[in-house]
Amino acid sequence: MISVFIVAASPLVRAGLENLLAAPRIEVAASASTLDELNGNLADSPVDAILIDSTGEPFQPFLDSLIASGLASDFSVVLLAEPRSLAASSAALSAGVRAVLPNDISPEQLVAALQAAASGLLVLHPTQVSAQVNSHGFASSAARSQPLDELTEALTPRESEVLQMLASGVGNKEIAAKLAISEHTVKFHVASILGKLGAASRTEAVSLAIRRGLVLL
C-alpha cells in the first residue's frame, strides 16, 4: 500500500483524481489546491508520493515554483501536464521529479507510475521516450561507450553512503534520518558528490555513478 497526496487547483480535478486512484495498494492521504497548502499539510500526512496536476496553469512558471519549493528533493513527485507542455519537462526531471506525464494518462498507467515513483524509479511515458530520452539527461549509446576519466578526488565513505541512497531514490530528509545527520549536511554531501562526478543534477550523478560502478543496484 502506498500513500499519495494530491495537488490540483480545481476541486473537480482533485475529486476526479481521488476517484481514479481508488485502486488496490493506493491510498489517498489528503489533497490540496496549491503547493503552499501542500507544504502546510505534509507534516500531518506522511506520504510515499505526491501527485501534482498542472492543468490550466502556465507550465514554466508552475514548474519554476515546484523546483524552488524543493519538494522533489525530499519526496517522490509525479507531475501531470498538458501534452503540449511535455517538451519542457526535462528541467523537472533534472530537479528530481520522478515523472512528468500527460494529464490524459490512463488510470492503470498512472497507478503504475505512482508505484514506480514511490519505489525510487524515474518514469517516462511511452510517447516521450523516442523524442525526449536524450533531453532528460540520459547518455546516448555513443556516450555510454566512451571511457570515463578518473575522478579528480575520490568520494569519502560518507559520500558513498549518500550516493547509494540517492541511487535508491531516497530524499534528503530520509537520508538525514538514516545517517543521523542534519539535512544541511546531506545537502553539503550531495553538492560535493555532484562536483566530484562532474554532474549537473542528482539524476546525472546517479547515471554517472552507475557507469563507474560506484553504486550497487
Q: Is 148 helix (H, G, I), strand (E, B) or coil?
A: coil
pLDDT at 136: 42
pLDDT at 125: 64
Q: Per-domain residue ranges for the chain?
A: 2-136, 143-212
146-185 in b/e form (b: 16+ CB < 10 A) is eeeeeeeeebeeebbebbbbbbebbbbebbbeeeeeebee
Does domain 2-136 fall into CATH 3.40.50.300? no
Does the predicted TM-score (pTM) go above 0.85? no
pLDDT at 44: 65
pLDDT at 207: 80
Digit-by-digit pLDDT tens for the chain (217 residues) are 889 999 999 999 999 998 888 777 788 888 899 988 887 777 666 788 999 999 888 888 888 888 888 888 788 899 998 887 776 677 777 778 888 888 888 888 888 888 888 887 888 766 555 444 444 444 443 334 344 556 778 888 899 899 888 888 888 899 999 999 998 999 999 888 988 888 888 888 888 887 777 876 5
Q: How is domain 143-212 classified at the CATH fold level?
A: Arc Repressor Mutant, subunit A (1.10.10)
pLDDT at 6: 93
pLDDT at 126: 61
| Kind of pairing between the strands at 2-7 and 99-102 | unpaired
pLDDT at 132: 45
The 3-state secondary structure of 1-58 reads CEEEEEECCCHHHHHHHHHHCCCCCEEEEEEECCHHHHHHHHHHCCCCEEEEECCCCC
pLDDT at 134: 46
Rounded Cα distance between 9 and 25, Å, is: 25
All three cell numbers of 26, joined, read 493506493
Rounded Cα distance between 123 and 140, Å, is: 18
